[in-house]
């Protein structure tokens, strides 16, 4: 069967762009970026983060999309096909499987957190946070986490919506969903930034995000920034490689990659500019950690005029952002399965989604019944890690950077120069040479160093 014949293609470059930006923009931007920046000293972290995106992540993203489009299939079959074309060992197929497995594993716990955002849409809309204090807000959050039944149901609802979109296919499902959700997400975000600019301490937030105190940059900050950059731009696993397989040939991969990374970074910074002015205006703690948007922000929503509306809008934004990412996490598995003797998309999506939901229950229980269960507790590094922590660690700190490094090696060293030039539609000029230098030397070395530090 001809390569790519199992799959539909995007109807336009704009559709692909929306889908890829939708994959990149997610909980990583709105939930994680602000709190990680808050914990790691503000402007210094932002600077290191942007450097990682430009020097390490964009070159790998270009490599990932190029492999995806040239292979034209799911990551596993694309890697197998390219290894053959380029006369490389057939075990490179494993890199594709690694991507599929990483995406699946991330989906299992991503959906649990996304479920919190659905729960918070309801909670905020009901007015539960009106005039609440810090203790009350924490009680609501802790109450949600302590209840496996409701966590499991919200996780199930979110997974169900993801499955519905993916089951409808590339054009009717993925494309339609992102065409509605991504522009809405931008509008909501801009409304929230506008509100924060008028009602919050915007100048302080701006200084917090952009004033760089170089003394705060150390190895640990760099380590966290690299991990966050990979996760946030969705690079290093099968998601964007799969989206690349549906990409028409006349689209410029280097340009698209820069736009995707720039849009992702812009949204992360805008999320910071929506959240921190409110945090400062209400005397809350910017370094609060993972609870920043679920515990801290609702206190502000409860006090501000129109807070029920603004708060509900905020959690709708979070849920939309999560959904356009979760569909890209389910798609790699589905795309591999439909290549299997032409299995049908709907039953395959249902099976994969239900399996991800079941595995995700391990993360659900990590917040309550299994809170003290640390499966790898005998190893000092994993001493306090629950099932959720372990999956997050495995996917974000190991599989994503490892996948990224292998993609860089394959695209930079093992593919013939002619193939990469041809697929990127470039001549052997400055743009190509800068990319090739970064993807051969800078990206793999940077990731290698991160691993060494991580293990040390
Ligand atoms: N980039 C998404 C976020 O920032 O939330 C998460 C993600 C999606 C990571 C898809 C990896 C991926 F393949």
| CA 92 to chain centroid | 24
| CA 338 to chain centroid | 24
Res 456 pLDDT > 70: no
What distance in angstroms lies between residue 224's CA and the mean position of ligand 1's atoms? 16
What distance in angstroms lies between residue 24's CA and the mean position of ligand 1's atoms? 5
Res 453 pLDDT > 80: no
Average pLDDT over residues 433-455: 90
Express as a percent the part of the chain with pLDDT over 70: 99
Integer Cα distance of 222 and 50 in angstroms = 11
End-to-end alpha carbon distance in the chain? 48
Helix axes of 202-210 and 43-52: crossing angle, nearest 10 degrees = 50
Residue 103 CA: nearest ligand 1 atom is 13
Domain contains 362: yes
Tens of pLDDT along 16-72?
A: 999 999 999 999 999 999 988 988 888 999 999 999 999 999 999 999 999 999 999
Res 336 pLDDT > 80: yes
What distance in angstroms lies between residue 280's CA and the mean position of ligand 1's atoms? 28
Tokens representing 129 are 């946070």
29 lines ligand 1 (CB under 6 A): yes
The per-residue pLDDT for 1 is 53
What distance in angstroms lies between residue 21's CA and the mean position of ligand 1's atoms? 10
pLDDT band at 10 (very low <50, low <70, confident <90, very high): very high
The per-residue pLDDT for 413 is 98
Out of 57, 239, 267, mutate this one to test ligand 1's pocket (max ligand atoms within 8 Å of CB): namely 239
Domain contains 3: no
The per-residue pLDDT for 212 is 86
Express as a percent the part of the chain with pLDDT over 90: 79
Tens of pLDDT along 245-287?
A: 999 998 999 999 999 999 999 999 999 999 999 999 988 888 8
117 lines ligand 1 (CB under 6 A): no
Q: Residue 165: enclosing H or E segment and its boundaries?
A: helix 148-167
Domain contains 5: no
The per-residue pLDDT for 292 is 87
Residue 240 CA: nearest ligand 1 atom is 13
Average pLDDT over residues 389-413: 92
Count the domains in the chain.
Answer: 1
Integer Cα distance of 9 and 133 in angstroms = 51
Task: Show the CA angle centred on residue 154, arms to residues 149 and 156, nearest 5°.
Answer: 90
The per-residue pLDDT for 296 is 86
Domain contains 2: no
Res 389 pLDDT > 60: yes
Mean pLDDT over each residue of the chain, to the nearest integer: 93
387 lines ligand 1 (CB under 6 A): no
The per-residue pLDDT for 198 is 92
What distance in angstroms lies between residue 270's CA and the mean position of ligand 1's atoms? 18
Tens of pLDDT along 111-139?
A: 999 999 999 999 999 999 999 988 999 99
For residue 336, the enclosing domain spans 13-455
The per-residue pLDDT for 218 is 84
Q: Which CATH number covers residue 382?
A: 1.10.4160
The per-residue pLDDT for 78 is 96
For residues 185-210, one letter each, b for 16 or more C-beta atoms within 10 angstroms of the residue's C-beta and e for the rest, the string is bbebbeebbebbbebbbbeebbebbe
- Please tell me the residue having the least CA distance from ligand 1 atom 12: 234
pLDDT band at 455 (very low <50, low <70, confident <90, very high): low
Out of 114, 232, 270, 356, mutate this one to test ligand 1's pocket (max ligand atoms within 8 Å of CB): namely 232
Domain contains 299: yes
The per-residue pLDDT for 452 is 81
Tens of pLDDT along 345-381?
A: 999 999 999 999 999 999 999 999 999 999 898 888 7
Integer Cα distance of 29 and 105 in angstroms = 19
The per-residue pLDDT for 136 is 93
Domain contains 8: no
Domain contains 316: yes
Q: DSSP string spanning 384-410?
A: T--HHHHHHIIIIIIIHHHHHHHHHHI
Integer Cα distance of 148 and 150 in angstroms = 6
Tens of pLDDT along 180-238?
A: 999 999 999 999 999 999 989 999 999 999 988 888 888 878 888 888 999 999 999 88
The per-residue pLDDT for 379 is 87
What distance in angstroms lies between residue 335's CA and the mean position of ligand 1's atoms? 18
Domain contains 6: no
Res 294 pLDDT > 60: yes
């Amino acid at each position: 069967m001809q390569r790519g014949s199992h799959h539909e293609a995007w109807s336009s470059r704009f559709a692909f762009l929306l889908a890829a930006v939708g994959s990149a923009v997610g909980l990583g931007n709105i939930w994680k970026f602000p709190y990680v920046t808050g914990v790691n000293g503000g402007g210094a972290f932002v600077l290191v983060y942007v450097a990682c995106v430009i020097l390490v992540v964009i070159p790998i993203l270009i490599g990932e999309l190029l492999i995806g489009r040239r292979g034209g299939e799911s990551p596993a079959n694309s890697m197998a096909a390219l290894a053959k074309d380029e006369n490389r060992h057939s075990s490179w197929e494993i890199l594709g499987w690694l991507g599929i497995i990483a995406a699946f594993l991330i989906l299992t716990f991503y959906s649990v957190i996304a479920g919190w955002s659905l729960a918070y849409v309801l909670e905020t809309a009901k007015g539960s946070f009106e005039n609440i204090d810090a203790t009350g807000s924490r009680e609501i959050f802790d109450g949600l986490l302590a209840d496996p039944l409701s966590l499991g149901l919200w996780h199930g609802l979110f997974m169900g919506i993801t499955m519905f979109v993916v089951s409808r296919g590339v054009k009717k499902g993925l494309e339609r969903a992102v065409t509605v959700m991504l522009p809405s997400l931008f509008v909501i975000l801009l409304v929230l930034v506008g509100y924060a600019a008028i009602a919050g301490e915007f100048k302080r937030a701006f200084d917090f995000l952009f004033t760089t105190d170089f003394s705060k940059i150390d190895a640990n900050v760099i380590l966290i920034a690299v991990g966050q950059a990979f996760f946030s731009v969705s690079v290093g696993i099968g998601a964007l490689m799969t989206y690349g397989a549906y990409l028409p040939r006349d689209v410029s991969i280097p340009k698209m990659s820069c736009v995707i990374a720039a849009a992702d970074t812009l949204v992360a910074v805008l999320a910071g500019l929506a959240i921190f002015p409110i945090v400062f205006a209400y005397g809350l703690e910017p370094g609060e950690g993972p609870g920043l948007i679920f515990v801290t922000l609702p206190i502000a929503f409860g006090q501000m005029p129109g807070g029920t509306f603004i708060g509900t809008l905020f959690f709708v934004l979070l849920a939309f952002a999560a959904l356009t990412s979760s569909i890209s996490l389910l798609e790699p598995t589905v795309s591999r399965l439909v290549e299997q003797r032409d299995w049908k998309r709907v039953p395959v999506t249902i099976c994969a989604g239900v399996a991800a939901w079941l595995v995700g229950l391990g993360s659900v229980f990590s917040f309550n019944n299994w809170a003290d269960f640390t499966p790898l507790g005998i190893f000092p590094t994993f001493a306090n890690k629950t099932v959720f922590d372990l999956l997050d660690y495995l996917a974000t700190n190991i599989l994503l950077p490892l996948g990224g490094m292998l993609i860089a090696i394959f695209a930079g060293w093992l593919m013939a120069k002619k193939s990469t030039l041809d697929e990127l539609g470039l001549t052997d000029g400055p743009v190509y040479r800068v990319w090739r230098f970064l993807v051969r030397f800078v990206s793999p070395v940077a990731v290698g160093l991160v691993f060494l530090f991580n293990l040390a």
